[in-house]
């Protein structure tokens, strides 16, 4: 099953400059694993040392924040869009 993964500018050099790539997987975790296998420069950029989503990125399935779903185990359907956005801090 293929989904489109939208990438922020900071991650695009790791995928040849593309704004989006297609990846296979039935969960966000599988998609991330397949992305890292295809683009090793993404290793450590998506998943943190604790095994969860890296603290400096937010991930959405379509328009839903996966933190409020099943995190990396969020199920995906063919044609879903996974968006990776840099976390913004402020005060």
Show me where the domains of the chain are located: 2-86
Domain 2-86 falls in which CATH fold?
Answer: Ubiquitin-like (UB roll) (3.10.20)
Mean pLDDT within 62-79: 97
Tell me 14's DSSP state. G
Q: Is the pLDDT of residue 63 over 80?
A: yes
- pLDDT tens-digit readout, 14-46: 999 999 999 999 999 999 999 999 999 999 999
Tell me the CA distances in angstroms from 34 to 7, 27, 57, 87, 90, one per residue in order.
15, 11, 18, 22, 32
Angstrom CA distances, 11 to 21, 46, 64, 77, stand at 11, 10, 21, 24
CA 74, CA 9: separation in Å to the nearest integer? 24
Q: What percent of the chain has pLDDT over 90?
A: 91
Q: Please give the DSSP secondary-structure letter assigned to residue 22.
A: E
């Amino acid at each position: 099953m293929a989904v489109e993964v939208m990438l922020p500018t900071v991650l695009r050099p790791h995928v040849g400059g593309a704004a989006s790539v297609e990846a296979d997987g039935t969960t966000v975790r599988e998609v991330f694993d397949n992305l890292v296998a295809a683009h090793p420069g993404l290793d450590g950029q998506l998943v943190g040392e604790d095994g969860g989503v890296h603290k400096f990125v937010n991930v959405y399935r379509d328009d839903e924040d996966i933190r409020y779903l099943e995190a990396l185990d969020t199920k995906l359907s063919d044609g879903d869009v996974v968006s990776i956005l840099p976390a913004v801090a402020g005060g």
